[in-house]
Homo-oligomer: A and B are copies of this chain.
Amino acid sequence: MYTVRVRDHFMIAHSFRGEVFGPAQKLHGATYVVDVEFRSTALDDSGIVVDIGLATETVHKILGDLNYRNLDEEPSLKGKNTTTEVLARTVFDRLVDAITRDALGRNGHAIESMKITLNESHVASASYEGRV
């Protein structure tokens, strides 16, 4: 199995609903340093899993739609607790959509699975991984 990983980040405000979150129920924020891993069992004729230029651009666009926002007021996330886990899944789903719409070109369709990791500090992160 081959994996290609690219890194980018976004910075948001949000708050959580539920006593389990303690002081994080108040409006606060986070930088998420995001690692996106693309996986495939085979390489294409050029020797790559994915066009890393398109991959970087596509990830940047998806994170750009969240960057510099207050997620509590983001229509597309309405009613969701935007935990790190939920945001990892959100990025995953949007990337699957982009791949379906050919954003990664032809060899994007050879991607079998992805793992999205959101690093929220030097001591915590959350990931979602699944088949494309």
Q: Footprint of B on A, CB under 8 Å?
A: 1-9, 11-14, 16-18, 20-24, 26-33, 43, 45-49, 51-53, 67-70, 80-86, 88-89, 117, 120-130
Other contacts beyond A2-B89, A5-B126, A48-B83: 6, CB < 8 A:
A2-B85, A3-B127, A18-B45, A22-B53, A29-B29, A33-B121
| Chain B neighbourhood of A28, CB < 8 A | 11-13, 29, 67-70
A5 touches B81 (CB 8 A): no
Q: Sample 26 A-B pairs with CB under 8 A, ordered by A number.
A: A1-B128, A2-B85, A2-B128, A3-B117, A3-B129, A4-B85, A5-B124, A7-B123, A7-B124, A9-B121, A12-B29, A13-B14, A20-B48, A20-B51, A23-B68, A24-B68, A26-B69, A28-B69, A29-B29, A29-B30, A30-B31, A31-B31, A33-B121, A47-B82, A47-B85, A48-B81
